[in-house]
Amino acid sequence: MMSYTDLPQGIEITALDPHFREDPYGILRNLRDQSPVHEDTELKRFIYTRHDDVKNILRDKDLWSDPRKANPGSFTREFLGSGDEEPSMLMMDEPNHRRLRSLVSRPFTPAAVEKWRPRTREVIQRVLAKISDDEFDLIADYAGPIPTVVIAEMLGVDPAMHGDFKRWSDLLIKVSFNPLPSEDEVKNGETAADDLNAFFYAEIEKRRQDLRGDLLSDMIRAEEDGEKLSAEEIISQCNLLLIAGNVTTTDLIGNGTRALLDHPEQLAKLQADPTLIKNTVEEMLRFDSPVTNSGRIANRTIELSGCPVNTGESLLASLAAANRDGAVYPDPDKFDIEREDTHHQSFGGGRHLCLGAHLARLEAQEAVLALLERFPGIKHGTGGFEYASVPSFRGMNYFWVATRS
Ligand code: HEM
């Protein structure tokens, strides 16, 4: 048995560490069993791994998200404090958070998202039509393009720009949530951010002359209590939609497909009864969540699982650990598309609950069904797969699949 001092610290509990990438769930299970409120003395944060603690933290409306409120030296202040740029709503507290969220939330309600199902199917068929090889990289050729094209279409971006969109958001995500980016990643991220900002400024100017039926026009038009969004606020929300929405949805399709291919009996069940797709996607989210953790800042001394943590400290809620807590899920490490209770923490909760949850679900449901319909004999390819080293996220750089059994 490990002693407390043997428990992992710092980057050992992030995707930067190869052991963590290989098996985050084993490491997190150990933490939950031995130190459910784990003080990470290197990165200066408290890691919560019990389902109920994670759930309570995310839904506690008094806790803060604005890094400027975190103690100097703490994780959130050091690594997530974004300098002088307009923060996105993810890092905002009330009343600004509510104002911004309500201004951009209309297109993301379940009913509004449902209207995108036919367009999403078209996008998926266009992407599928380009695949002709017996083996292909599911990430680059399928799961990657789908969410980028869908969000680009929602924003009203010219299809000629879709390739740039994908590139910019990939470069940005490499630095956005990474406590230890490399010099190259920082440089490329800055260039991508400049290009993207310049692009959005120009688009906003165009829309101001000529409002359309797209999300960018909606944000310009939006008014709440007589307030409008500034160009900087609009750009910050667009960046968030790209960063928060693209890679995560790609990873859901990638991780979820991998789970199916690793469990042929589950794959066969879904193929025999495609109406299981909704439950399947929820189980995919629970089993291998694209976002492994979210966070809050203590607004008071907070005591969970008997461990007091002081005001201003960084609270890291491990969604990945919560989703595999045996106290809540029978046989938690089993991938079971017919599981009765597939509720999960993968979209966070409370005030900051993922705005794109319905869109991500819809895209994944359609993408997985279309993939299986086109390639009923799909299986692992010879090129293998590799998990990416972006902290807080879990997804693959590449994942080769074979189309014939
Ligand atoms: C499988 C895909 C996705 C996953 C796993 C995911 C996960 C998350 C998580 C964990 C949070 C933080 C919640 C919290 O701290 O309580 C979040 C916030 C957010 N997500 Fe997602 N997300 C996904 C897709 C999307 C998409 C497609 C969009 C939009 C196009 C989106 C937009 C947002 C926004 C705007 C926020 C901030 C909400 C706020 O602060 O009020 N996400 N997401």
Closest C-alpha to 52, from 273, 325, 249, 265:
325
Residue nearest to atom 39 of ligand 1 (CA): 352
pLDDT at 198: 92
Place of tokens 């490990």: 2
Residue nearest to atom 12 of ligand 1 (CA): 348
pLDDT in tens, the chain (405 residues): 344 557 999 999 999 999 999 999 999 999 999 999 999 999 999 999 999 999 999 999 999 999 999 999 898 888 777 555 667 788 999 998 998 888 888 888 999 889 889 999 999 999 999 999 899 999 999 999 899 888 888 888 888 888 887 788 778 877 776 667 788 888 998 899 899 999 999 999 999 899 988 888 888 887 665 677 888 888 888 888 887 888 899 999 999 999 999 999 999 999 999 999 999 999 999 999 999 999 999 999 999 999 999 999 999 999 999 999 999 999 999 999 999 999 999 999 999 999 999 999 999 999 999 999 999 999 999 999 999 988 899 999 999 999 976
pLDDT at 243: 77
pLDDT digits (tens, 9 = 90+) for 17-65: 999 999 999 999 999 999 999 999 999 999 999 999 999 999 999 999 9
Please state the atom number of ligand 1 nearest to the C-alpha of residue 252. Answer: 1
- DSSP reduced 3-state for 318: strand
pLDDT digits (tens, 9 = 90+) for 218-251: 888 876 656 778 888 888 888 888 878 888 999 9
Euclidean distance between CA atoms 379 and 33, whole angstroms = 35
DSSP 8-class letter at 297: E
Closest C-alpha to 364, from 260, 263, 292, 214:
260
Cα separation of the two ends of the chain: 43
Enter the tokens of residue 48: 């919560």
pLDDT at 85: 61
Helices 277-287 and 357-374: crossing angle in degrees, nearest 10, is 110
Q: 252: Cβ below 6 Å to ligand 1?
A: yes
pLDDT at 186: 87
Euclidean distance between CA atoms 35 and 48, whole angstroms = 9
Q: Ligand 1 centre and the CA of 147: distance in Å?
A: 13
pLDDT at 2: 41
Q: 74: Cβ below 6 Å to ligand 1?
A: no
Strand segments, DSSP code E, in 211-279 are: none
Closest C-alpha to 282, from 322, 326, 245, 336:
336
pTM value? 0.92
Partnered with residue 308 across adjacent β-strands are: 303
pLDDT at 37: 97
Euclidean distance between CA atoms 346 and 289, whole angstroms = 6
Give φ, ψ of 251 to 5 degrees: -65, -35
List domains and CATH numbers for the chain.
4-402 (1.10.630.10)
Residue nearest to atom 31 of ligand 1 (CA): 356
Please state the atom number of ligand 1 nearest to the C-alpha of residue 319. Answer: 10
Q: Which helix (H) or strand (E) holds 136?
A: strand 135-137
Instruction: Kindly provide the b/e burial profile for residues 342-377, where b requires at least 16 CB atoms within 10 angstroms of the residue's own CB.
Output: bebbbbbbebbebbbbbbbbbbbbbbbbbbbeebee
